[in-house]
Structure 1
């Protein structure tokens, strides 16, 4: 007997975790940015002021002039003052709270991060970066930044014996020009939304097949839960929500649009004698379609019920493969009966 409290549908999407932020979080942050653009700009300006007041950035040495590519520039070797990080972040949180930005931008206003900054783990990490990184700013005579460089020395872990005494230096250089000059940004011709690109080609095909595999696994999990319910109540549940908690940890939903799966029941002698479960797949070549029920609980055709009775009028659907369970075009109904 399978313990339903430990049963869970398997998410076989190899890209799900990697791209979930692109599919969900990024649009949310884009909307939040548009809604709070004025407040965010004010917060950034305030952050610069706070950083200056807390002496967050200090100079390793006195500035010196250098001629680079024919330009006379002044070099500033910067470092972050460790003792100023927590006071800076506390004041930033307070400003964000006053601007009501905490709800929409938890990534930059997470108070839990403040505890991390106070901990020994961050202290050790900071000490490592302080020893192995450098941040240098070159500015012209008027104080306008011209070039920003960031370098980091990467050393392998002690357990990587083959790389003992080896290291690599990585240098990032940002050249700045035409600061404050107006910039016109135009949408490129034939531009496509990110979601459209993700659904194209081999990546889109892999994600489509993965979602279908998830749907089939969900239906099988629901079948198991309905059988457990039948054993306890001598009949199938009238609706899938009756399975929640006692027979399944949480009700699975369609991985694409989070809609509920299709479900109806067949009653004979006042007993819910059978059920009809369905999920709309995206891949017409899915092998699961070759072995599903293809029951039409609207008309009763192909449902192969032995006892006389009737299907519930609500929730009934056509399980034929040529359309989705709800009649959707370009979807293919995978259905199951006892």
Structure 2
């Protein structure tokens, strides 16, 4: 459900409409197909590939990773091409209101200035970046946050008290409320620290040979930054394995930490942050966090105790839970707040 929510949030910005459930165009079957492709992309991107570490073996593709990636690329290309063609014909759902981002990108295909002109391949690549970087990562970080709060009921109660005070119980949280939710922002930062969306930053290539801390790095080397380890470094953080949001509050050890890439001690999205994570994800995930914390109390499925919740991580490019979080939400706001919205 979190993945569906994140996908629709990105789609409404990009396409001017939802792509899951109801709304014009799209449907659950198409959404499930796309979700499966994104998951496969994250798994293949994070798999241990012998050719990455032993260059002579790269061309042999002993594990079939390259072949799988090429096959997946064709599926993505067909999927995104269909979206692009459909959008050219139908446009966004409504005829009024602001033009969606994809319409704007399509308009740049025919501009006179060659430097500003976009190709169809570039537009599809941008679509892929937006959806792949903003759906799976957002849903997984929200899932980790809810799991941590269930294991720390006092922190959850404090967050709900702040939300009730700032927002009240007669409406949902909005993006404009976030700046006044100091404790919630600390929870978001602590969750990003312990559970970064991508534990290893996306691969970079060394443009020049250099020496870092006595290690020679030749030009052309593939570089991966272990942001997961940096955020758990005991030389930088007290009790680094503990979930302690107060470390980001006034009087804490990092009250002014910026998780968007300006403080190297906690860089959950890497230093060169993708647009979707820095601009959209910076509010999308926290807004979902705030809405769930504010609108619901949670019970674990099958009578499980929070203290026994499995917090192990799955292997892949993104930091997924080894066991998906299954909870029963219970409304805690006024009944009219939960009325369906389209």
Regarding TM over 0.5, the answer is: no
Larger-gyration structure (1/2) = 1
Higher RCO (C-alpha 8 Å, min separation 6): 2
**TM-score scaled by length of structure 2:** 0.22
The structure that is helix-richer by fraction is 2
**TM-score scaled by length of structure 1:** 0.22
The structure that is strand-richer by fraction is 1
